[in-house]
Structure 1
């Protein structure tokens, strides 16, 4: 099954750190021309950067059309939107300012296109948080950048896989600062975004959400921490009053060890490693990072720049491909959600097109 050309979504791709594995992941993923049956890809980079990595990969069936504006999109090829023309030294595996500088050029051009409606979704390749820092970019990652760029009050970093979804109350913070950011207001805000995203982006009509505790053993009734009794339980209570189906707080170790996550549509973790360690253990290679709460769709793989294997043709594109599939799924789910809002009697499967994509690529 393929989608008529006029109905195909336009999916944008950032190149990530020029010295990382981002462009290799893009080339390996989009060299499978069956993707062109379901989307029109636009890579925000430069022809020269693409050709540099294309030569390093070797036997690769990858061709592209070079564009400088969106009036010349080729629906039957990968499109390279040239964000720069100058020669750039690429040194795979090297952490330097150049890799970060051009990663941000790509990111800003692609995010502008997403905000302006030129693309329907954006898949971001990994960047390195240290070498992107500048007067114009002082963010600890993609998520806070997108929050500011779109001017929204809050967003949620949501890690998704086939049967596991984990959102984070806090993201990239030093451990000593986490507790100060665990507030009733922050938890409720994340729960509201998570609940809305599960309904709109993942076609789950009545989501069941588990909330993890902050302290070991959920604080043991205040013996080893009071955040559960003073902050997390009141937040859950208020969320229930807002008609959310929320349960917790659960002690994180027992929650995952006993497989309790299988009983819920999503989990809200209090901090990065509490959520990411079990997620990557249970779903590594198929995990996707989705920024919930934006007016646009952004996904990414669940790993970093991998400088140790950059330029060696060793990068595994599985998670990157999953991010592409996820972006298409979410586009279709959002369309279905809007249709159902207009006509509540219409109930269709949100996975018809997504299933066709999976079947086509798996052949």
Structure 2
């Protein structure tokens, strides 16, 4: 991929009553961002002008008539809706949820049509977005249907990468959801992503146990011995992957064992996200791995408690933008070199 080509970064605005608009505008107030990418916000230019004035920011908008008509060097806005909305910072509102969904849907269509290269989503409120037309617990589930593929919530930072076997599943149901087929599928998604999206040729993956102490040889549940261990052995033997575990989750991160692996596959949401956010909060990115399109988001929610106060830290959103661009370039390089094996040899010789 040419280093001079600017990546077109699509942005869904998130919940208008939350911190989404603030962190988006703060990120792109820095003029250096325009040298890195071409941002395209799917929202409403009048609404963004309100947020700009409220937070005392200096953004300048270019209203693009369509996602195909964006301009490099500008902060592009595609009007995803025309009607106005009265912002009530910090409040759950079904109307705000409707506009958040509209932004996601219009941005997703632009992503499918390749009018944008990547999509970065600002935080949504999972209750406000629910309707007869939109019944997804979150972005990851929506993209699994909209982009018609298997995907995985993959939390990534410079320090650690954590994927999930199950994500928005009640804890009481986790063990019932974990099957050999699911483990093989998630390991496959993670391994392929590490190769294509992060440039790791032979990934090492750690799998965390389902039960405390990985079941203590069946004393605290038999799922680890009955499901996880034989499936990990099968993946290593049949597919040649470097997959290890199951590891007891309580000591795995405190002992810094995660530093010995390229990624960690956790059994359920909090098992993976609590240590990830403890180690990387503000610098972490939620990446939806396994899709033929690239989507990232910050590692936090709508933060209704500070919405409208000008206190929101945009670091994680900016990291989500940087990570989306990095993954896009890595993926383009991967496609190029796998299509042309001679290019691989040339690169190895140049490094030698």
Alignment TM class, shorter chain as reference = over 0.9
Tell me, yes or no, if the aligned pair for 1:3 and 1:38 is still in contact at 8 Å. Answer: no
2:36 aligned with 1:32, yes or no? Answer: no
Work out the CA distance in 2 between the residues paired with 1:44 and 1:188: 36
| Structure 1 residue aligned with 2:128 | 131
Q: Are 2:193 and 1:211 equivalent residues in the alignment?
A: no
Does 2:65 align with 1:68? yes
1:54-81, Cα deviation, whole Å (9 max, x unpaired) = 11111x2210100121343110111000
- Say if 2:76 is the partner of 1:79: yes
Partner of residue 45, structure 1 = 43
- Secondary structure of 2:9's counterpart equals strand
Alignment of structure 1 residues 93-242 onto 2, 5 Å: 93-152=90-149, 154-240=150-236, 241-242=238-239
Alpha-carbon offset, residue 3 of structure 1: 5.1
Q: Deviations over 1:14-61 (max 9, x none)?
A: 000111100101100001110111110000000111011111111x22
Q: CA deviation at 1:281?
A: 0.4
* Aligned residue among 235, 240, 244 for 1:243: 240
Rounded to whole Å, the distance in 2 between the matches of 1:64 and 1:321 is 18
Shift of 1:90: 1.3
8 A Cα contact 1:340 1:347, kept in partner:
no
Which residue number corresponds to residue 281 of structure 1? 278
Q: Which runs of 5+ in 2 are unaligned?
A: none
Corresponding residue number in structure 2 for 1:339: 336
RMSD: 1.2
Deviation at 1:243, TM superposition (A): 1.2
Shift of 1:13: 0.3
The answer for unaligned runs of 5 or more in structure 1 is 349-363
2:255 corresponds in structure 1 to 258
Inter-partner Cα distance in structure 2 for 1:72 and 1:288: 29
Distance 1:134 1:189 in 2: 30
TM-score by length of 2: 0.96
Which 4+ runs in 1 deviate beyond 4 A? Answer: none
In 2, the alpha carbon distance for the partners of 1:253 and 1:346 equals 45
Instruction: Name the stretch that deviates more: 331-340 or 19-28.
Output: 331-340
2:295 counterpart residue number: 298
Q: If the length of structure 1 is used for normalisation, what is the TM-score?
A: 0.93
CA distance in 2, matches of 1:346, 1:94: 57
Kept after mapping to 1: 8 A contact 2:52/2:58 = no
